[in-house]
């Protein structure tokens, strides 16, 4: 086997799995894992001008060559995958990891997930895509269940969804083989004009439902928030930031090349075409989970629900299928991975010090954990899509693409999603860091540098790529070219367009100029004095440790009263029925899983599946 950079990358990832299994119980395991991920990242950077690059490993099934090849699209997602693993391993290398009973399983589950994702991201045909997809699904199950408890219960629900999705994807692959006679992506794309409308609709429904489960698109989203929120510690940052985007990668790979999209648009069923179906599902996913997040009283659940909504926004941008929309969607994948990882790590830091992520039991931590506060502040600005953090740039591109594509209703949906995001992220930072410090938290202190430095690195990247988005757009260009879209003309500070450009250096300068003027007025204006947090008066009450100004229960009663009639009606009933069905299936699978002969049954199914293939 020739040793090219793709082979070296996969071998390094395999080596990382073996390494962390071998030294996983040692105190220095996290540092060695970080070094191994840094080596993988170095190899990925070396692939910058060498794509597409094929692995020399391959085999034949049904006279079809099954092979692996990394293109610019897979490389873009791989950079985020390995980068997220690198930051997470650094976070767990110090005090946080030392506070855990056994870090071996956590290190191994992370390394296995990275390996599985790299295999998926370098898929060269439909069968290698399915192999990678199954590896990623089972690796995600491993990372969710490593500590048992509620996370394991949520993971079993995820497994039901994942197995159903895998069957849908496999059925789609079989259908392609029967129609095209090949498992190659190129053969499928070339055969698109000859496929009947019913076959194309069937493929769209099968693949979309299968990959949508991993993304958490509606109506397949019910497993994701609980599973990600209950995943232990820093690993939740990894799976929420990038693991959920593997479904988006697969959808883009199969359906979102320009000539494929043209067939989806032309394939109409009544008033609806296949692209419209995907784009409206994306819009609903961007809106509804955002307002579910608004009702959460647990910080991890709030962020997990936002992860579902942001995935819908990414697909919405890409499904516009214009260079600007695709750029906005892909850039949002990058931006989201950065600020979502920062937010989950900040929440993990708060939990590490206080023992809780319950928003009703926190408050005033800004005086005890100022660095964590800065990280969360920058993270929520990015999540809300406000300047000067990077989330603003990608949302600006998506909104502009919707305007230019004359999709006003979708623009309204995206704007409503942003409004809900702003409301809920304010609740997040307010209830954790603002208001009065609780008596039980008087003695806590900031997390150590091993935890604060990774968070600050992510916050710094979010700020730098917000002020200078050209740095991130250079990565997006690789994926965009691989898909067949012309990259947008951009410079270090933004994007140059004939009908409205964006210069974030100018926007940031104006922003800080305004902040500076406000600071001068504040410090040179009226005299001020500082009082104790309980020597205060608000809402007709003198405040005390029992009467607080920042009441956290029922945080937005007015807003929820307005949207309650429609939100608590058909949507909640639909979700309750889906939850009940998922619980029934999960219970059945859980019972099956504990049977004495389960391995035998699984072996029989595997043999039959292989016999079908061969």
CB-facing half-sphere around the CA of 107: CA atoms within 13 A: 35
CB neighbourhood size of 172 (10 A)? 23
C-alpha span between 328 and 501 (Å, rounded): 14
- DSSP for 435-472, written as a single string: SPPPGGGTT--PPPHHHHHHHHHHHHHHHHHHH-THHH
Confidence class for position 333, pLDDT limits 50, 70, 90: very high
Confidence class for position 612, pLDDT limits 50, 70, 90: very low
- Lowest-pLDDT range of 264-273, 321-330, 527-536: 527-536
Q: Are 24 and 104 in contact (CB under 8 A)?
A: yes
C-alpha span between 282 and 263 (Å, rounded): 19
Cα-Cα-Cα-Cα dihedral sign, residues 397, 403, 407, 409: positive
Q: Which of 180, 10, 216, 20 is nearest to 107 (CA)?
A: 20
Decide if pLDDT at 561 tops 80. no
Say how many residues make up the chain: 614
540 or 361: which carries more pLDDT confidence? Answer: 361
Cα 556 to the center of its chain, rounded Å? 26
Decide if pLDDT at 582 tops 70. no
64 or 456: which carries more pLDDT confidence? Answer: 456
Q: What does the pLDDT read at residue 264? A: 81
- Lowest-pLDDT range of 54-58, 106-110, 382-386, 590-594: 590-594
Confidence class for position 547, pLDDT limits 50, 70, 90: low
Q: Which uninterrupted H or E stretch holds 69?
A: strand 64-70
Confidence class for position 505, pLDDT limits 50, 70, 90: very high
Mean pLDDT (whole number) for 100-127: 89
Mean pLDDT (whole number) for 202-219: 87
pLDDT digits (tens, 9 = 90+) for 518-532: 888 888 876 667 777
Confidence class for position 153, pLDDT limits 50, 70, 90: confident
C-alpha span between 246 and 250 (Å, rounded): 6
Q: What does the pLDDT read at residue 269? A: 72
Q: Are 128 and 174 in contact (CB under 8 A)?
A: no
Q: What does the pLDDT read at residue 597? A: 47
Q: What does the pLDDT read at residue 217? A: 86
Bridge partners (DSSP) listed for residue 495 = 490, 502
Report the percentage of the chain scoring pLDDT > 90: 50
C-alpha span between 521 and 524 (Å, rounded): 5
Decide if pLDDT at 311 tops 70. yes
pTM, entire model: 0.88
The 3-state secondary structure of 243-256 reads HHHHHHHHHHHHHC
Q: What does the pLDDT read at residue 575? A: 58
Mean pLDDT (whole number) for 147-155: 72
Decide if pLDDT at 607 tops 50. no
Decide if pLDDT at 121 tops 90. yes
Average pLDDT, the chain: 85
Decide if pLDDT at 610 tops 80. no
Decide if pLDDT at 243 tops 60. yes
Q: Are 217 and 277 in contact (CB under 8 A)?
A: no
Q: Which of 436, 421, 380 is nearest to 552 (CA)?
A: 436
505 or 270: which carries more pLDDT confidence? Answer: 505
pLDDT digits (tens, 9 = 90+) for 491-503: 999 998 888 889 9
Report the percentage of the chain scoring pLDDT > 70: 84
Mean pLDDT (whole number) for 450-463: 95
C-alpha span between 77 and 80 (Å, rounded): 5
Cα-Cα-Cα-Cα dihedral sign, residues 324, 326, 327, 331: positive
59 or 456: which carries more pLDDT confidence? Answer: 456
Mean pLDDT (whole number) for 2-13: 90
Confidence class for position 327, pLDDT limits 50, 70, 90: very high
Mean pLDDT (whole number) for 382-409: 93
- Lowest-pLDDT range of 59-68, 109-118, 140-149: 140-149
Q: Are 345 and 237 in contact (CB under 8 A)?
A: yes
């Amino acid at each position: 086997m020739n040793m090219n950079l793709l082979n070296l990358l996969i071998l390094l990832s395999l080596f990382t799995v073996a390494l962390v299994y071998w030294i996983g119980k040692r105190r220095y395991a996290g540092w060695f894992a970080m070094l191994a991920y840094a080596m993988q990242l170095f190899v990925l950077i070396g692939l910058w001008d060498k794509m597409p690059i094929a692995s020399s490993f391959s085999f034949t099934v049904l006279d079809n060559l099954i092979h692996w090849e990394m293109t610019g699209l897979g490389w873009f997602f791989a950079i985020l995958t390995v980068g997220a693993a690198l930051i997470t391993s650094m976070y767990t290398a110090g005090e946080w990891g030392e506070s855990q009973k056994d870090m071996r399983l956590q290190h191994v589950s992370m390394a296995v997930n990275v390996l599985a994702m790299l295999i998926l991201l370098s898929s060269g045909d439909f069968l290698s895509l399915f192999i990678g997809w199954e590896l990623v699904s089972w690796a995600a199950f491993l990372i969710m269940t490593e500590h048992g408890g509620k996370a394991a219960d949520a993971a079993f629900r995820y497994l039901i969804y994942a197995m159903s999705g895998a069957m849908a994807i496999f059925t789609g692959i079989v259908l392609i083989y029967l129609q095209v006679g090949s498992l190659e992506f190129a053969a499928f794309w070339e055969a698109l004009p000859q496929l009947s409308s019913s076959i194309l609709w069937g493929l769209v429904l099968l693949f979309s439902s299968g990959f949508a489960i991993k993304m958490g698109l509606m109506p397949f989203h019910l497993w994701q928030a609980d599973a990600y929120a209950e995943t232990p510690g820093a690993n939740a940052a990894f799976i929420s930031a990038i693991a959920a985007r593997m479904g988006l990668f697969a959808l883009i790979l199969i359906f979102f090349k320009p000539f494929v999209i043209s067939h989806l648009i032309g394939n109409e069923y009544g008033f609806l075409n296949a692209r419209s179906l995907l784009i409206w599902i994306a819009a609903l996913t961007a809106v509804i989970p955002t307002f579910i997040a608004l009702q959460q009283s647990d910080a991890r659940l709030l962020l997990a629900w936002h992860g579902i909504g942001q995935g819908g926004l990414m697909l919405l941008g890409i499904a516009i299928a214009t260079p600007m929309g695709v750029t906005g969607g892909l850039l949002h994948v990058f931006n989201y991975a950065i600020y979502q990882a920062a937010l989950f790590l900040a929440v993990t830091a708060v939990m590490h010090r206080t023992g809780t992520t319950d928003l009703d039991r926190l408050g005033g931590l800004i005086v005890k954990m100022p660095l964590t506060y800065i990280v969360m502040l920058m993270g929520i600005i990015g999540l809300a899509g406000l300047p000067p953090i990077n989330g603003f740039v990608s949302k600006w591109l998506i909104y502009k693409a919707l305007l230019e594509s004359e999709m006003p209703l979708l623009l309204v949906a995206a704007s409503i999603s942003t409004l809900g995001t702003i409301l809920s992220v304010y609740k997040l930072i307010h209830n954790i860091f603002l208001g009065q410090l609780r008596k039980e938290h008087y003695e806590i202190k900031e997390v150590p540098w091993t935890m604060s430095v990774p968070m600050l690195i992510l916050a710094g990247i979010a700020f730098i790529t917000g002020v200078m988005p050209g740095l991130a757009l250079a990565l997006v260009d690789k994926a965009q070219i691989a898909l067949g879209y012309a990259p947008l003309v951009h410079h270090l500070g933004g994007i140059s367009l004939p009908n409205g450009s964006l210069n974030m250096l100018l926007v940031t300068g104006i922003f800080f100029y305004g902040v500076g003027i406000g600071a001068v007025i504040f410090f040179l204006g009226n005299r001020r004095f500082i009082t104790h947090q309980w020597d205060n008066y608000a809402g007709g009450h003198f405040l005390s440790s029992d009467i607080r100004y920042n009441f956290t229960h029922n945080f937005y009663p007015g807003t929820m009263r307005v949207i309650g009639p429609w939100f608590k009606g058909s949507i909640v009933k639909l979700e309750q029925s889906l939850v009940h069905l998922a619980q029934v299936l999960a219970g059945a699978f859980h019972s099956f899983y504990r049977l004495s002969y389960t391995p035998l049954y699984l072996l029989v199914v595997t043999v039959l599946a292989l016999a079908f293939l061969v």
